[in-house]
Structure 1
Amino acid sequence: MTIEPTQSPSEPEINSGEDFVHIDEPRPTTGDISLSDSIVNVEKEDAEEEEEFKDSDSVVTGGDDEAGGSIDIGGGEAECSSEKMKVELPEELAKSVVILTCESTGKGGSCDVYLIGTAHVSKESCREVEAIVSFLKPEVVFVELCSSRLSVLKPQNLKVPTMSDMIESWKQKQNTFGILYGWFLAKIASQLEVFPGAEFRVAYEQAMKYGGQVILGDRPVQITLKRTWAKMPLWHKVKFIYSFLFQAVFLPSPEDLNKMLKEMDNLDMVTLVIQEMSKEFPSLMDTLVHERDQYMASSLLRVASEHSSVVAVIGRGHIQGIKKNWKQPITMKDLMEIPSDQSVFTVKRIISSVAIAVAGTAIFTGILLARRR
């Protein structure tokens, strides 16, 4: 199921051309360091002022890549004030929200940060995000995305990659872990009929309605995946690939998956999977969860220190980590480094192992199906 944007006279339109946004090569900034590594300006129409703007390509303004940072994808000045943000959320909305504060150069000298914990593949999370952002109308909406995942904000159809799709991605030198990870999420999403990260698109659409800024604050996914893959021993890589294939083949039914989501009070589906797999592969929690907790806590604090009101839409599994690292000294450069992979002939060995794993899974599945008949 795709989430179609709400059509209304006041909703801004995106000047997309062939793609969702046009991103040019980064160019160095001048003067003070920008809040973000790069800024993607999304052109839109302001229906309330009944004024047409001339279309133009969006531009990415580069910053300090080594330091890491957030990415501003545009929006206007939010129609809100620091006083309005002091209003308490209704009880039914407050249950999924954690509030942090910090000093700020914005209005009032401080910023209230509302953390919304989501389940990533949940219709209920989408409804909560829509209601909270619409109610608070914050100056900034911070989402758990990076520039490489901007496509999440575009309407898409649920599609589980085929084996040929995955092979083609590998030929294009995409990260092996990323290919499998994306396939696994797509399998879960197809069962639940909701696109992974749909709550981010909902948050974006709500912010665009009233002119709020949307900032991408997660670590670049390529760095996260490369750090994850590089830190795994060769044997763990082989074992990991087989485990992913096996679990994806034997996913629970949609009813069981929805029941699991309702029973998870403090975790999202993705983090739950990572936690379970980290029992076999300890490095997963460090690179996929803990390091990103630190990265997002730092980038979120940086954003909040220059604004008066922020709503952050993140997975529930990151809430406690961001609270723990809030206002703590974090060296972003360390989180952006990619360790060297010391394995010899790693790719050839893993490809051979994948072939064996796929064949073994297919044979095992065929035996089970034959017995059921």
Structure 2
Amino acid sequence: MSDGAVADDAGDAEHAGAGSVRVVGTAHVSQESVDEVERVIEAEGPDVVAVELDEGRFRQLKGETPDDLDAADLLQGNTVFQFLAYWMLSYVQTRLGDRFDVEPGAEMLAAVETSEALGIDVALVDRDIQVTIQRFWARLSSLEKLRLLGGLAFGVADPFAVGATVGATVGLFAALVAGAVGGAPLVPPSTPFPGVADAILTGALVGFGAALVLGVGLRATAPSEEATTAETLDPDELTDTDVVTAMMEEFRRFSPGGAEALIDERDAFIAHKLVALRDAGNHVVAVIGAGHQAGVEDYLATPETLPPMAELVGRQESSRFSVYKLFGYLFTLGFLAFFVLLATAAYTGVPGASSGLLVRLFAAWFLVNGLLSFGLAKLAGAHWSSAGVGGAVAWLTSVNPLLAPGWFAGYVELRYLTVNVADIGTLNDLLDDTETPVPELLGRMLDVPLFQLIVIVAATNIGSFVGSILFATVLIPFLFAEIGGTAEIVRLMLAGARNSVDLIAGGLL
């Protein structure tokens, strides 16, 4: 076996320049494709059989141990989202395989096994799936990412049920904030416990609105019934190309830019590998998906139009404007300004400011972030050391938009979990179970290491987020109550700003 190159260099030199490529376009879920692959390889007797696989998927298809998740990858930020995107792609293909009664990837396995039986070299000509998924995610806009994740949720539950769940969560936060900061009362003062009742009513209204908006939005952006290929297409009326084309066009509907990474870039990458094999003088049978056949054959006919290989590999950074990052940077700037100005006020002797107040503020920040991150991580099933690390760094990561405590908790948790690509297939099987009650199904999903890791990472991050909200809406007003409340905060910060200007001006003069 070789990865895009043939091991027999002497044979290459003997036939250099006299090679050819026979492309066999297959549907990844068609038994006819499996039979055709075997017939063509046996009839052609090629020097090399090239298959649309990378090293990781090749070993997985052969039943070897899948790649474990590298702990360092978790700290790069998008690992969870890349797995979720890969999860959805795998789930769609698995559903098609169930529908058409053939194992996805069977034609690639048939090509490999037939080649090995005939003593023919096998070349892996596809790009690493992790590179493809990362580049796919980087090209999505914020709306496209929401639609993609919404599509995954839509495959699990009704969009209005998803909206209701998220709405209830939003309502809980709204009730918490309303109870902390008050505002225009929504219930008569004569109502028993008016503050609590007002907070509950506020949360209910906000939660209902969020549920309605999200439910309608997910319904609007979810694939229509006509576009759900696995449920509406009749296998007796389809050609192989129809199946794959329908899948590819579905991804283009979600995101033209993302589909370019999934389809167009891979066309060029595969063609690069095949041109190199052909130029080395080999007669090649290339087994690729029908959705790639037209693009690859165009490049084989006009190889001078191929983009440089350097543009098709490596990590791609998103060039899109990120509202999330902007909000994160502004929050970080505001947090630093808050503490720096208060510290300046205390240092310059502004009445009401003191080092003791700063110590209490920092201690409150550390404790509320740490305890909530630690607690939610433990509830999610994290080990003590993992939850402890997440809680210990929560105070710092909650003001840095490029970090999150869940990544650190997940990093430590990987000492106890073995996460690999096979977990995605397990989750697909569980999600395809429509008879098991939801609580039992959720329990089974939590037994899958990948899902358990995602839940721990998410729970730790949610704890830090809730801690930041509580610090701003509850603890700051409480700590400043004895010296005049929130109005006093503004006075101290303005005084600190003026004194900072005076100190800087004095140092320059």
2:105 to 194, 197, 213: 197
Corresponding residue for 1:87?
none
Structure 1: distance between partners of 2:232 and 2:311? 42
CA distance 1:252–1:334, change in 2 (3 Å): closer
Distance 1:194 1:110 in 2: 37
**CA shift at 1:191, angstroms?**
2.2
Q: Verify: 1:154 aligned to 2:62, yes or no.
A: yes
* 1:52-201 paired onto structure 2 within 5 Å: 70=4, 105-107=13-15, 109-154=17-62, 175-201=83-109
Q: Structure 2 vs 1, CA of residues 217 and 171 (structure 1 numbering), >3 Å: closer, same or farther?
A: closer
Instruction: Answer yes or no: is 1:263 the counterpart of 2:238.
Output: yes
1:306 to 280, 287, 302: 280
SS of the equivalent of 2:110 reads helix
Q: Do the aligned residues in 2 keep the contact of 1:111 with 1:307 (CA within 8 Å)? A: yes
The aligned residue for residue 323 of structure 1 is: 297
Q: Which amino acid aligns with 1:70?
A: G
Return the alpha-carbon distance in structure 2 between the equivalents of residues 255 and 155 of structure 1. 32
Q: How many residues align?
A: 242
| Secondary structure at 2:21 match in 1 | strand
Matches within 5 A, 1:335-346: 335-341=312-318, 343=322, 344=325
In the TM superposition, what are the counterparts of 1:213-228 in structure 2 within 5 Å? 213-228=121-136
CA distance in 2, matches of 1:236, 1:171: 18
From the superposition, tell whether residues 184 and 307 of structure 1 become closer, same or farther in structure 2 (CA, over 3 Å).
same
In the alignment, structure 2 segments of 5+ residues that lack a partner are 65-77, 158-224, 326-400, 405-430, 436-509
Query: Which has the larger strand fraction?
Result: 1
Given that residues 82 and 133 in structure 2 are in contact (C-alpha distance below 8 angstroms), is that contact kept between their aligned partners in structure 1? no
Q: Is the 8 A contact 1:119 1:316 kept in 2?
A: yes
Equivalent position of 1:332 in the other structure: 309
- Asked if the contact 1:142/1:214 (under 8 Å) is kept, the reply is yes
Residues 124 and 225 of structure 1, relative CA distance in 2, 3 Å threshold: same
Within 2, Cα distance between the matches of 1:282 and 1:108? 39
Give the residue type in structure 1 aligned to 2:235: N
What whole-Å deviation, never above 9, does each CA across 1:41-72 have from its counterpart, x for those lacking one? xxxxxxxxxxxxxxxxxxxxxxxxxxxx7266
- Match among 219, 234, 242 for residue 142 of structure 2: 234
Native 8 Å contact 1:121 1:198 kept in 2: yes
Are 1:141 and 1:311, in contact at CA under 8 Å, matched by a contact in 2?
A: yes
SS at match of 1:194: coil
Give the SS at the match of 1:321: helix
Query: C-alpha displacement at 1:175, in angstroms?
Result: 2.9
Mapped to 2, the partners of 1:225 and 1:171 lie a distance apart of 10
Give the counterpart letter for 1:127 in structure 2: D
Shift of residue 174, structure 1, vs aligned partner: 5.3
Q: What secondary structure, in the 3-state scheme, does the structure 2 residue paired with 1:128 have?
A: helix
Deviation of 1:256 (Å):
3.8
* Cα distance, 1:307 vs structure 2: 3.4
1:85-129 deviation line (CA, Å, top 9, x unaligned): xxxxxxxxxxxxxxxxxxx74438411211001011110000000
CA distance in 2, matches of 1:284, 1:173: 14
| CA separation of 1:145 and 1:298: change in aligned 2, threshold 3 A | same
For residue 276 of structure 1, what is the aligned residue in structure 2? 250
Q: Distance in 2 between matches of 1:264 and 1:129?
A: 15
Write out per-residue CA displacement over residues 323-365 of structure 1, whole angstroms, 9 at most, x where no aligned residue.
22222243111111322246436999xxxxxxxxxxxxx9xx9
Aligned mates of 1:253, 1:137 — CA distance in 2? 35
Q: Which amino acid aligns with 2:294?
A: Q
Alignment check: 8 A CA contact 1:152 1:201 kept: no
Q: Normalized against structure 1, the TM-score is what?
A: 0.57
User: Map of 1:204-215 to 2, 5 A cutoff?
Assistant: 204-215=112-123
* C-alpha deviation, 1:270, in angstroms: 3.9
Match of 2:413 in 1: none
Q: Identity over the aligned pairs, expressed in percent?
A: 28
Structure 1 unaligned residues grouped into runs of 5+ = 1-38, 41-68, 82-103, 157-169, 349-361, 367-373
Q: CA separation in 2, counterparts of 1:347 and 1:193? A: 44
Distance 2:31 2:108 in 1: 12
Residue equivalent to 1:293 = 267
- Pairwise CA distance, 1:279: 2.5
Please tell me the residue identity of whatever aligns with 1:336: V
Q: Secondary structure at the match of 1:300?
A: helix
- Using the TM superposition, give the Cα deviation of residue 173 of structure 1 relative to its aligned residue in structure 2, in angstroms: 7.5
Cα distance between partner residues in 1 of 2:85 and 2:44: 38
> How far apart in 2 are the matches of 1:187 and 1:338?
30
SS of the aligned residue for 1:274 comes to helix
CA distance in 2, matches of 1:207, 1:247: 38
| Distance (whole Å) between structure 1 residues aligned to residue 147 and residue 23 of structure 2 | 36
**Two-structure CA RMSD over aligned residues (Å):** 3.5
Q: Distance in 1 between matches of 2:250 and 2:56?
A: 26
C-alpha distance in structure 1 between counterparts of 2:254 and 2:232, whole Å: 27
Q: For the residues of structure 1 that align with 2:230 and 2:292, how far apart are their CA atoms?
A: 26
Q: Is the 8 A contact 1:274 1:284 kept in 2?
A: no
How do residues 16-55 of structure 1 correspond to structure 2 at under 5 angstroms? none
Change (3 A) 1:130 1:178: same
Distance apart, 1:206 and its partner CA: 0.9
Matches of 1:213 and 1:282, distance apart in 2:
36
